[in-house]
Amino acid sequence: MPHPETLDRLVRRVATQVRRRRIEHYALRGAFWGSLLSVLLLAFKGPLAEWALPSALGVLGVGVLTGALWGALKRTSVADAARLADRAWGLEDRVATAMDWVGRPERPPLVDALIADTLQRIERLEPRKAARRVIPRDGRFLPIPLALVVVLMLAPAIPVPSGRLPDFSVAGEEEQQEARAGSPLMDERSRPAARDRLKPPSFGEREFATRAGGTGAAMSGDLAAVFKDTALSAQRPDFQ
């Protein structure tokens, strides 16, 4: 009967494929969650300044490495690898049964015949991938946060509102009023124009000043003063 190392070699090869697929699987999951954190860092990169981009890329890399390490640390049992080999090559549980009996010292002749047949079938197997690639649900949405990371890297920082509340105190209002009053624009508005200062009084203003003064001296522009010096003012009216 051929040496059972052929059976062990097949099981180890399948277990190695499973480990690689698990590394890919969890690396995609880690990349997804790391990209979400990178989006948050780049969205509010104003306070971080020049550290925003290195921090985002570092978080993304840490997520990928953490997922890959977690997948590498997950071990695959011999029984699971044997059952996976049976499904991949259609051996109808021969590998799993042979692995169960190969370590026992006392075996019935029927089991020895089964193990020999299984080993012969394994030697004639075509090389193929026993563990297929399974993309996680998180990995299917990975292009969305990655695209957001690229956009936010090129876009300016989003303004972050300050944590200070508006000042509603009386002192604050007085300071604002004093600041507005001392501004050059308010000084120019409060200063009278040169044309308004040099404007002479109008005719109506002079007449009102004369009437309010009563018997005062005649002013220029008073019509009553014009007729005081004429001869008509001394004549008696005709109806007396």
CB 120 within 8 A of CB 1: no
Query: Which pLDDT does position 166 carry in this prediction?
Result: 56
Is residue 124, in this structure, part of any structural domain at all? yes
CA 139, CA 66: separation in Å to the nearest integer? Answer: 15
- Domain extent, residue 85, equals 5-154
Listed residue (182, 11, 174, 159) closest to 98, CA to CA: 11
Please indicate whether residue 142 or residue 159 has the higher confidence score (pLDDT).
142
Is residue 137, in this structure, part of any structural domain at all? yes
pLDDT above 50 (res 159) = yes
Three-class HEC string of the chain: CCCCHHHHHHHHHHHHHHHHHHHHHHHHHHHHHHHHHHHHHHHCCCCCHHHHHHHHHHHHHHHHHHHHHHHHHCCCCHHHHHHHHHHHHCCCCHHHHHHHHCCCCCCCHHHHHHHHHHHHHHHCCCCCCCCCCCCCHHHHCCHHHHHHHHHHHHCCCCCCCCCCCCCCCHHHHHHHHHHHHCCHHHHHHHCCCHHHHCCCCCHHHHHHHHHHHCCCCCCCCCHHHHHHCCHHHCCCCCCC
Is residue 167, in this structure, part of any structural domain at all? no
| pTM for the full predicted model | 0.60
CB 14 within 8 A of CB 122: no
Query: Which pLDDT does position 1 carry in this prediction?
Result: 47
How many other CB atoms sit within 10 Å of the CB of residue 192?
7
Is residue 41, in this structure, part of any structural domain at all? yes
Query: Which pLDDT does position 183 carry in this prediction?
Result: 54
Confidence of residue 92 (pLDDT cuts 50, 70, 90): confident
Please indicate whether residue 160 or residue 18 has the higher confidence score (pLDDT).
18
pLDDT tens digits, 46-91? 777 788 889 999 999 999 999 999 999 998 888 889 989 888 888 8
Listed residue (97, 89, 96) closest to 121, CA to CA: 89
Is residue 191, in this structure, part of any structural domain at all? no
Is residue 181, in this structure, part of any structural domain at all? no
Is residue 54, in this structure, part of any structural domain at all? yes
Is residue 173, in this structure, part of any structural domain at all? no
* Burial (Cβ within 10 Å: 0-12, 13-18, ≥19) of residue 103: exposed
Number of domains in the chain: 1
